[in-house]
Amino acid sequence: MDTEWLEKAQHGDAEAFAGAFETLRPSVFAVACRLAGPDDAEDVVMDTYLRAWQALPNFEGRASLKSWLYRIAFNCATDLRRRRKRSPEVRVEPADDGQDAMERVADPEAVLPGEVLEADETRAQLARALRQLPEDHRVVLELRYMDGLSYAEIAAATGIGIGTVMSRLFNAKRKLQRVVAEMNQRTR
């Protein structure tokens, strides 16, 4: 990232802020999806960028800009989950899927339904297993393996030490293996 853009942004230049931060938006969005879910990710990203804009004059560069943004996104997602626990939202889904008949016609190039079903079942099983882990273990697993963050980036994003990140990853993988094994035993 160009330090000139960052310095201009720190002095209130909104265009420089957009230029400096827009390249990081896909990464921040991916982290927000992991932390808050796809339905709330855009809200978390918007909150993240708003807080980043407000806090940017105080950014000292001790962490990378990317890690700093991940930490803000982590805090925004945590705040969102807390708000939701206090006042749960009721969502009403439409009865019709909104597709017309032509959209339902099979594509000859498409993957076979059995393959899709098997992959969906595996993803669903993994998602169920991840939900059974404590949040601190689930978050580090998702940030490492789904978002590809380094240990240092996870540490910066979550506010914990690298040693703690490594320990949580180790323990989370072991717990995840046990949960998946138990789930497989139940389905036999």
Domain of residue 128, residue span: 111-188
Structural domain count of the chain: 2
Q: Is residue 98 part of a domain?
A: no
Cα–Cα distances in angstroms (integers) from residue 28 to residues 25, 67, 113, 120, 182, in the given order: 5, 10, 33, 25, 34
Angle at 122 between CA 117 and CA 128, to 5 degrees: 120
Centre a 10 Å sphere on the Cβ of residue 10 and count the other Cβ atoms it contains: 15
Q: In which band, very low, low, confident or very high, does the pLDDT at 38 lie, cut at 50, 70 and 90?
A: confident
For residue 169 the two structure tokens come to: 């990853």
Q: What is the CATH number of the domain that holds 174?
A: 1.10.10.10
pLDDT in tens, 52-91: 888 888 888 787 888 888 889 989 988 888 887 777 655 5
Q: Nearest CA to 158 among 80, 70, 77, 79?
A: 70
Same domain, 179 and 140: yes
Q: What is the CATH number of the domain that holds 51?
A: 1.10.1740.10
pTM higher than 0.85, yes or no? no
Same domain, 64 and 134: no
Q: Is residue 24 part of a domain?
A: yes
pLDDT in tens, 80-108: 888 877 776 555 455 456 655 555 555 55
Same domain, 21 and 59: yes
